[in-house]
C-alpha cells in the first residue's frame, strides 16, 4: 500500500509509518454495548434484519464514531454472509447464535451448494452509504472471515468451541474440505474486492478459530488459503490487508512471513513484548488489550493500556482489543481508554 492520504493516521500506519499517537479502533465497536444500537435493533428486528437494511447498517457503523471519534470505522456485517451467498440458509437463534443449513458434513453436501452472490448486494449498499458519510480523517475498514473459520461454521451448522466437526472432516476427507475452502476463498476475494469498489480503504481477515489447529493443519487451512486470498486480492485492488489469526500463538511468525498480509492483529493471549521481538520489525501490528480489562476499568485498565503502548512504541501500531468489545462494557471505560491512548 503506497500513497496513503496524509490525514488518515490508520492508513498511514498500515503503510508502515509509526505514529507518535497510535490510531485506535475496536473490534465490534458497533454493537450491543451502545444504547443507540440497542434502540435501533429493537426498532428494526433481529441482527440479520439490521445487516440487510443498508440505511440501518450505515447508521450502526457510524454510531461509535460519533461517541468516540475512532480513527477507523468497521463495516457492520457478519462473517457468515459469505456462507449465505454460497448457498447455505443463515439465521440467528435468540440466545444461541448463528445457524446454517444444511450442515456440510459430506462431499455431496458441499458439491450441492448453489451460490447467489446477489445476497451480498445490501452489504455493498451499506459500504457506499458509510463511505459517503465518514469524517475525512477516518479510515473505512471492510472485512471477511478467513476460510478455515467460515468452514467450521458451514460444516457444523453453528459455532463450536473446539471445531471438532470441521477438524474431523479435515482429517477424514481433506479433499472435500479443500473444495469447501477453495469455494470460500473464491467468494471472499470477490466479496472483498466488491467492498473496496464500494468504498472501503482497508480490509481485515478474521480467523477466529485458527487456534484450534495443529501446526501442519494450520499451514494447510490457515496460512495457504490466506496467502491465496491476499495474492489474488492484490491483483485486483490496492488496499492493505490485516490478518487476525486468533489463537495462533507461536505460529504467528510463520503466518506473518508466509501469508503476505500487511499487518497482524494480535489477540489478548499474545505477549506484546514477544510479538514485537518475533514479528518482522517494520510490520504494523494491531491490538491487543484484553476486552475483559476494558470492562474492569480503573487503574488496571490504565496499566494494561500502557503496557501495550510501551511494547509497540518503536513500530507501527494500531491500538485495538485482543478480540471484540463485549456487550457489558461501560461507555465510560471506552472513553477512558481512548483518552489514555491519545494522552489526554
Residues labelled as active-site residues: 28, 32, 41, 78, 153
Query: What Å distances lie between residue 166 and 10, 176, 205, CA to CA?
Result: 35, 11, 19
User: With 0-12 CB in 10 A as exposed, 13-18 as middle and 19+ as buried, what is 295?
Assistant: middle
Residues 6+ apart with CB under 8 A from 123: 51, 57, 75, 77, 81, 191, 194, 195
Task: Tell me, rounded to whole angstroms, the distance of Cα 340 from its chain centroid.
Answer: 24
- Alpha carbon separation from 283 to 263, 265, 344 (Å, rounded): 6, 11, 27
Burial of 299 (0-12, 13-18, 19+ CB in 10 A): exposed
Amino acid at each position: 500500500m503506497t500513497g496513503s492520504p496524509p490525514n488518515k493516521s490508520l492508513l498511514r500506519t498500515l503503510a508502515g509509518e509509526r505514529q507518535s499517537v497510535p490510531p485506535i479502533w475496536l473490534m465490534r465497536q458497533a454493537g450491543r454495548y451502545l444504547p443507540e444500537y440497542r434502540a435501533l435493533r429493537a426498532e428494526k428486528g433481529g441482527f440479520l434484519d439490521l445487516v440487510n437494511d443498508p440505511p440501518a447498517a450505515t447508521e450502526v457503523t457510524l454510531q461509535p464514531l460519533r461517541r468516540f471519534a475512532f480513527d477507523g470505522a468497521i463495516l457492520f456485517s457478519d462473517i457468515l454472509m459469505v456462507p449465505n451467498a454460497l448457498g447455505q440458509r443463515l439465521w440467528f437463534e435468540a440466545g444461541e447464535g448463528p445457524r446454517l443449513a444444511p450442515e456440510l458434513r459430506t462431499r455431496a453436501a458441499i458439491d450441492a451448494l448453489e451460490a447467489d452472490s446477489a445476497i451480498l448486494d445490501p452489504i455493498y449498499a451499506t459500504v457506499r452509504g458509510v463511505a459517503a458519510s465518514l469524517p475525512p480523517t477516518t479510515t473505512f475498514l471492510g472485512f471477511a472471515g478467513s476460510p478455515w473459520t467460515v468452514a467450521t461454521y458451514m460444516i457444523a451448522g453453528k459455532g463450536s468451541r473446539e471445531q471438532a466437526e470441521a477438524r474431523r472432516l479435515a482429517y477424514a476427507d481433506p479433499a472435500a474440505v479443500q473444495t469447501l475452502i477453495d469455494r470460500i476463498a473464491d467468494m471472499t476475494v470477490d466479496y472483498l474486492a466488491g467492498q473496496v469498489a464500494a468504498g472501503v480503504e482497508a480490509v481485515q481477515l478474521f480467523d477466529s478459530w485458527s487456534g484450534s489447529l495443529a501446526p501442519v493443519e494450520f499451514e494447510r487451512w490457515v496460512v495457504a488459503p490466506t496467502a491465496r486470498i491476499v495474492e489474488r486480492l492484490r491483483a485486483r485492488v490496492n488496499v492493505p490487508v490485516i490478518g487476525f489469526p486468533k489463537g495462533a500463538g507461536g505460529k504467528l511468525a510463520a503466518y506473518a512471513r508466509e501469508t503476505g498480509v500487511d499487518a497482524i492483529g494480535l489477540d489478548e493471549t499474545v505477549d506484546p513484548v514477544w510479538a514485537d521481538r518475533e514479528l518482522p520489525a517494520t510490520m504494523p501490528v494491531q491490538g491487543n488489550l484484553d476486552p475483559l480489562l476494558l470492562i474492569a476499568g480503573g487503574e488496571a485498565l490504565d496499566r494494561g493500556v500502557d503496557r501495550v503502548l510501551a511494547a509497540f512504541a518503536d513500530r507501527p501500531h494500531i491500538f485495538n482489543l485482543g478480540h471484540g468489545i463485549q456487550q457489558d462494557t461501560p461507555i465510560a471505560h471506552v472513553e477512558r481508554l481512548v483518552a489514555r491512548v491519545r494522552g489526554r
